[in-house]
Amino acid sequence: MRQLQDIDTPALVLDLKIFYENLEIMSESRPGLSLRPHVKAFKSSVIAGILKKYGHESFCCATIREIEGLVEAGHKEDILLANETLDASRLGSLVANGARITVAVDSEATIIAAAEGGVKEVLIDINVGLPRCGCDISDAEMLSSFAKKHGLKIRGVMGYEGHLMFIQNKEERSRKVNEAMEILHDAHLIVGGDVISAGGTGTFDINTLATEIQAGSYLFMDTRYAKIELPFKESLSVASKVISVEKAKRWAVSNAGVKSLGMDYGKPSVQDGVVGICSDEHTTLFPTEGDDSVRWETGDVVLLKPSHVDPTIAKHPRMLCVEDGYVVEEWPIDLRDW
């Protein structure tokens, strides 16, 4: 069996023990269908299969490819495209073959696309404060009627409070989430249906309105999520190897860069050092403040902690699962691209 020292780098490395701890904490708090795991975080049908064994049979996705891949792998009980689309024909084919697929809609155009594409069920996506998708609540009734006229079943409402996900103080986060969810509550009274789909890792236990929480990052966490009060721990790193050390040891260079690390929330972090420059396939590591020189030698494996786990995972073809220092499994990231 391979140890970290033996793997090709860069590579995604998952601490399997922490992964399952995170999974179980969430499953206890949000059992079965009260969690709709967000596939965009992990993009792996293998992980979807594991979540299903823990009772989570419904999934949500951000892309059509994620849905196609889930269905190919046999996970077709109840998948939500938690996103708008103007071409639902690929989804309609899956529905025609027995998959249950629901699509978020927030306009007449997206309703027409769903109906013409062959999708049968929708959620009315309501804007709850994040400047992104979702209709204004004043349009909920009109869109609801419009969808029904087009033969679509309305399962309920969706609203994503993404702008509140990273408020550090839990009390403040909780208060603001409640305010946002009042909008969704009112929309649900208008639209009806069984489903109120909302939330994420940062609000999984404070969003009390949602009948289902859309969370995925909790399985891995990242340095941004680590800053807020949550019971989950970081399980994922990008393993890199030190390929060069400056003569006076003023810096070391590891072979993971921006092509293996999501950079939209900033640079990765590292123990016992400071991350300097990240280029395509390199990260320059400087000593911790106060130290004159870096502690690494050429050949050392360095674990970089990503700032944003979702786009980091999307850059890799596989995830190496490590237990007691050994690679015990290799999970494909098979739901990438579009």
Task: Return residues touching its own copies (CB under 8 A).
Answer: 8-11, 40, 62-63, 83-87, 106-107, 109-110, 127, 131-136, 138-139, 162, 241, 243-247, 250-251, 253, 255, 258-260, 262-264, 276-282, 284, 298-299, 308, 310-311, 314-317, 337-338
Which CB atom, from 22 or from 283, has the smaller least distance to its own copies? 283
Which CB atom, from 173 or from 316, has the smaller least distance to its own copies? 316
Q: How far is the CB of 16 from its own copies (least distance, A)?
A: 22
Which CB atom, from 97 or from 138, has the smaller least distance to its own copies? 138
Q: How far is the CB of 302 from its own copies (least distance, A)?
A: 13
Tell me how far CA of residue 77 lies from CA of 155, 279, 330, 334, in angstroms.
15, 42, 26, 19
Which CB atom, from 27 or from 63, has the smaller least distance to its own copies? 63
The one-character DSSP state at 135 is B
Q: What is the 3-state secondary structure (H, E, C) of 43-92?
A: CCHHHHHHHHHCCCCEEEECCHHHHHHHHHCCCCCEEEECCCCCCCHHHH
Closest of 28, 88, 37 to residue 197, by C-alpha: 37
Q: How far is the CB of 85 from its own copies (least distance, A)?
A: 7
Q: How far is the CB of 53 from its own copies (least distance, A)?
A: 26
Q: How far is the CB of 266 from its own copies (least distance, A)?
A: 10
Closest of 131, 190, 139 to residue 161, by C-alpha: 131
Q: d(Cα 132, Cα 13) in Å, to the nearest integer?
A: 32
Based on its alpha-carbon atoms, the radius of gyration of the chain, rounded to whole angstroms, reads 21
Which CB atom, from 118 or from 162, has the smaller least distance to its own copies? 162
Report the sign of the C-alpha dihedral through residues 200, 202, 32, 186, in that order: negative
